[in-house]
Amino acid sequence: METNHVKQENRRALPRFLLTILGASILGGVGGGLVSADRTGVLAGSVGTAVNRILTATTPWGILVSGVILLGIAWGFYRSGKRLYSQWDGENDASVDMAAEKLSYTLLFSTLEMVICFFFLSASFPYAYSQGPYGILLVVVEFIAVVVGIVVLQQRVVDLEKIMNPEKRGSVYDSKFHRKWMDSCDEAQRSQVFQASYHAHMITSRACVFVWLMLIFLNFMFHFGLMPSFVVLLIWGISQVSYALACIRMGRHKIG
């Protein structure tokens, strides 16, 4: 009975799985064909030149411009969240829940800016150096200034969260912040964190496979070697192995 149920589920899911494999193969074939069509490397050359020009022009100011835009948006969300909380009468759930959501958006945009900062900092070495050593110095100064802005904004968000939720513990300047914050979360909040983490793990896994596939094709055109594919697979591997090990560990010990 149980075995039949398992077989039935497999039979139902198999056609879709095969269709997905077929679709991916066709897509891969078309992509490979397009790449091989550019045998002379004309397309690769022009794309490479365009990327070089764009990065040479944007790298010196990328951190500053993205910082002003994204931290500006993040600051707007923070102010809005703070205002909503200050108007909270202690009963209306909607307004305080909205305030918490605004603070989540503040963290989202500030984290996004952090990623962009790291990108432009790494891009500054090959691209800003062409404009002299001051090019790199300028990027480093911008990087420090924007990262300080991000940290201060995140500290304000955490402080406001702690006022909204007096049971919360931890300071952003503490190296054990994440552990202390998690320890002060109750069962519902932990459940949300776990669900969000699982969602992020699944998205990361899919994104890694997609990016790896893109890198395989693009390597035919741009000949950047195996390093990018290796890095993506390393991230995927770490994510998968750490997830599997955590499952094994939790299976041995009690949960909660």
Partner 1 sequence: MPLHNRLKEYRARLGINQQEMGARAGVSRQTISQIERGDYSPSVTLALKLAKLCGVTVEDIFTIGEDEHGD
Interface residue list for partner 1 (CB under 8 A): 90-91, 93, 96-97, 100, 164-167, 185-189, 191, 256
191 vs 197 by CB, closer to partner 1: 191
8 vs 191 by CB, closer to partner 1: 191
Residue 153 Cβ, how far from partner 1 at the closest point, in Å? 22
Residue 166 Cβ, how far from partner 1 at the closest point, in Å? 7
Q: How many residues would you count in the chain?
A: 256
96 vs 218 by CB, closer to partner 1: 96
Give the span between the Cα atoms of 113 and 69, in whole angstroms.
9
Check residue 33 and report its DSSP letter. H
Give the span between the Cα atoms of 123 and 131, in whole angstroms.
13
Residue 254, helix vs strand vs coil: coil
Cβ atoms within 10 Å of 135's Cβ, excluding its own: 18
Confirm if 153 and 75 have CB atoms less than 8 A apart.
yes
Cβ atoms within 10 Å of 249's Cβ, excluding its own: 9
Confirm if 233 and 205 have CB atoms less than 8 A apart.
no
Residue 37 Cβ, how far from partner 1 at the closest point, in Å? 53
Residue 85 Cβ, how far from partner 1 at the closest point, in Å? 12
2 vs 186 by CB, closer to partner 1: 186
36 vs 191 by CB, closer to partner 1: 191
Residue 102 Cβ, how far from partner 1 at the closest point, in Å? 14
Give the span between the Cα atoms of 208 and 214, in whole angstroms.
10
Confirm if 224 and 189 have CB atoms less than 8 A apart.
no
